[in-house]
Amino acid sequence: MIVGVGIDVAEIDRFAAALERTPGMAARLFVPAELYLPGGARRGVASLAARFAAKEALAKALGAPPGLLWTDAEVVTEDSGQPRLVVRGTVEARAAELGVRSWHVSLSHDAGVASAVVIAEA
């Protein structure tokens, strides 16, 4: 049973500008594993914008309650390239309240826009 669906888009250039003008923003939004690729190279801004859109979509799928922490949701990439959500803390607690047992996530970025869809399933 679907508990919630969320979708979000982020303009990549606008997101990049926000990261540049706001020191510490990236650390408030992402865990270190989201910021860096395996091997230590910094992840591209389009990829980060898509991950941010996924976190926004996740919040919407949970009913957008106050108090969720951005870093309590992590977008990881499977070896196959498929994105997956790992939740903990405030996000895990809200998901448990709603009976969420699994997540489906899709990310995309093209033509200057990053997008994400998240489905929460019981």
Q: What is the pLDDT of residues 82-115, one digit of tens each?
A: 999 999 999 999 999 999 999 999 999 999 999 9
pLDDT at 38: 86
Among residues 120, 119, 116, 121, which one has the least CA distance to residue 55? Answer: 116
pLDDT 10s digits, 6-45: 999 999 999 999 999 998 999 999 999 999 988 899 999 9
Cα separation, 109 vs 50, in Å, equals 7
pLDDT at 51 over 90: yes
Cα separation, 92 vs 94, in Å, equals 6
Question: What are the residue boundaries of the structural domains of the chain, listed by start?
Answer: 2-121
Under DSSP, the state recorded for 42 is B
Among residues 106, 110, 53, which one has the least CA distance to residue 84? Answer: 106
| Token pair listed for 50 | 């898509």
Cα separation, 111 vs 30, in Å, equals 24
Q: For 2-121, which CATH class?
A: alpha beta
pLDDT at 20: 96
Strand residues in the chain grouped as ranges (E): 2-11, 73-77, 83-87, 102-110, 113-121
| Token pair listed for 105 | 């996530």
| Token pair listed for 13 | 């250039």
Tokens 């989201």, located at residue: 34
